[in-house]
A and B are shown apart, each in its own frame.
Chain A
């Protein structure tokens, strides 16, 4: 997929460059792009190194476990089957806690293991289970309390106050996470209400 993105971007650039007469600018853009990739990487490197180390310490000290315990009432509402069967629920809470702490690398394996566990209770294996959908969509809108790479990039770009965006990021990402939980649970809730009504009608008839 990345190759295709690259190809499309190059094609658009070439067409526009011919169109606007910026063809010489393309040459220096190639040189600049390659050089600035290294600059971006260098500005990310220190932060990523520090932060992944810090997060490893926190998870070794049991912070993920403690956070996961705090989350359990919330999980009962949005992952009822996993909660009832106990299968996948630990992985789900570990995934959410790791995301909160900003350890994306650790979060993904937890989520994949949770998907596997939830698959056991999926009546139609090639069709996504509602709770699996909730987990996947929640991970596309993850709340991270300290977006370390964002801060590093802002600093590298010469921001006077890299931290200024923290509170807006918290507010927006919390709302987005809440929204993804609600939106993906709606079909499941409707389904349950309909089922209940059908059951009642059947018992009357």
Chain B
């Protein structure tokens, strides 16, 4: 039931859009191509940043730093229930979307997308955002310097997200 629901969500949206094409009063295909072009542009514009950060993350992995730090942290990590392989993702996630995309896809390549660490990383990647970046952009757009409890709250939510993702994955998948 749950499996079907999650596998169906995406195709359902595609079919819904197809129905809008069929029965809509306007020609919605124009809207589609416009949106798709935008999407393409944003993705392609991501490449320079992604290249730099993938290189950095790949160097970090090759230098043995990730393995070493992961091993060092693994007693702590297993005590609190978070796989130590998640470290690069957790460190980059609050700051930058491209850096955490690089860390996430490097992680999937090294431990596998369907391993416990890979699943936890996926849930964290899917349900958190670039905390520091978002808050900085939002408040600087209206010239607010005192952000008061914005950062403490956002980081508390992020921590909860990390712990709860790992907890829920253990419950859900194993």
The interface of chain A, by Cβ under 8 A from chain B, is 1-2, 5-6, 9-10, 12-17, 19-20, 22, 25-26, 28-30, 32-34, 36-38, 40-41, 44-45, 48-58, 60-61, 105, 108, 111-112, 115-116, 119, 125-128, 130, 132-133, 135-137, 139-151, 153-154, 156-169, 171-173, 175-176, 179-180, 183-184, 187
Contact = CB atoms under 8 A, between A and B. Distances in A.
A137 B54 CA distance: 28
Given A53-B39, A165-B126, A17 B56 contact: no
A87 B144 CA distance: 18
B38 A52 contact: yes
A153 B46 CA distance: 15
Interface of B: 2-3, 5-7, 9-10, 13-14, 16-17, 20-21, 24, 26, 28, 31-36, 38-40, 42-44, 46-47, 49-65, 68, 92, 95-96, 98-99, 101-102, 104-106, 108-109, 112-114, 118-119, 122-123, 125-131, 133-135, 137-139, 141-150, 153-154, 156-158, 160-161, 164-165, 168-169, 172-173
B20 A61 contact: yes
The prevalent SS among residues of B at the interface is helix
A160 B59 contact: no
Given A17-B62, A128-B139, A54 B13 contact: yes
B139 A136 contact: yes
Determine chain A's interface SS by DSSP, over half rule. helix
28 contacts: A5-B53, A5-B56, A5-B96, A12-B60, A14-B63, A15-B65, A17-B64, A20-B64, A29-B59, A36-B109, A52-B35, A57-B32, A60-B26, A127-B144, A128-B146, A128-B147, A132-B144, A133-B148, A137-B150, A141-B128, A154-B108, A163-B10, A168-B172, A172-B123, A176-B127, A176-B160, A180-B157, A183-B157
A25 to B, nearest CB: 4
B62 to A, nearest CB: 4
Contact of B99 (A2, A12, A28, A162): A2
B101 A45 contact: no
Given A53-B35, A140-B129, A41 B149 contact: no
